[in-house]
Chains A and B, each alone.
Chain A
Amino acid sequence: DGGITQSPKYLFRKEGQNVTLSCEQNLNHDAMYWYRQDPGQGLRLIYYSQIVNDFQKGDIAEGYSVSREKKESFPLTVTSAQKNPTAFYLCASKGQAFEETQYFGPGTRLLVL
């Protein structure tokens, strides 16, 4: 089955701790995206990558970091600098065509202990 997976489903972070959210896709898509969703709000773009070894900041990149060493993988690290990390995190991927839609993973809910 082709698709996009995220793990874990739930993640707990302690104060001062960095945590990494996994995102893997086997759709052979070049572009990948990370979004944050808070209750009652739309998705906000954290980082995106259009090609391996290259990524760009989105609208709310502060306190987050990413890497894109493989086409299939785009992990997101929530650093201790992110003071309000509790949210639902969504990863998406997209093919090359200008108008192609984004395919989303099931999401990771991050909670602070």
Chain B
Amino acid sequence: SQKIEQNSEALNIQEGKTATLTCNYTNYSPAYLQWYRQDPGRGPVFLLLIRENEKEKRKERLKVTFDTTLKQSLFHITASQPADSATYLCALDHGSSNTGKLIFGQGTTLQVKP
């Protein structure tokens, strides 16, 4: 079955630096991959989606890359701010036809210090 691995250790960076989070998967190549942000005690919020035939996707200060050879996605936040502090979840499609089911990683907590 598909497994997703995100760095379980918290990532601590200084304000203004670029944060890079990693998502690795082990089995089939997903049709798409999504990144969500989750604040403590709240539901996840969608950030970006990247398809299997796309190498890179950008949205404002966010950038996602997708390497199907390495079975890895990288999530970058440039010019990071303390308000970016949260847990970031990677999610892949379940592989079933149009059920919309997602498999989530355990998330990486980012702490941006002023």
Contact = CB atoms under 8 A, between A and B. Distances in A.
Interface of A: 31, 33, 35, 40-45, 48, 50, 56, 58, 88, 90, 92, 94, 98-107, 109
Q: Is the interface of A mostly helix, strand, loop or mixed?
A: strand
A101 B106 contact: no
Q: Is the interface of B mostly helix, strand, loop or mixed?
A: loop
A108 to B, nearest CB: 10
Nearest to A35: B104
Contacts of A101: 34, 46, 49
B3 to A, nearest CB: 10
Contact of B8 (A31, A35, A40, A56): A40
B44 interface: yes
A48 B99 contact: yes
A90 B44 CA distance: 9
Nearest to A101: B46
B45 interface: yes
A107 B107 contact: no
A39 B4 CA distance: 17
B8 A104 contact: no
B114 interface: no
A100 B106 contact: no
Nearest to A43: B104
B84 to A, nearest CB: 19
Nearest to B46: A101
B98 interface: yes
B89 A43 contact: yes
Contacts of B34: 101
A62 B82 CA distance: 40
Contacts of A45: 101-102
B61 interface: no
Contacts of B89: 42-43
23 contacts: A33-B101, A40-B8, A40-B106, A41-B106, A42-B4, A42-B105, A42-B106, A43-B89, A44-B104, A45-B102, A48-B99, A48-B101, A50-B99, A88-B41, A98-B98, A98-B100, A101-B46, A101-B49, A102-B46, A102-B102, A106-B42, A107-B41, A107-B43
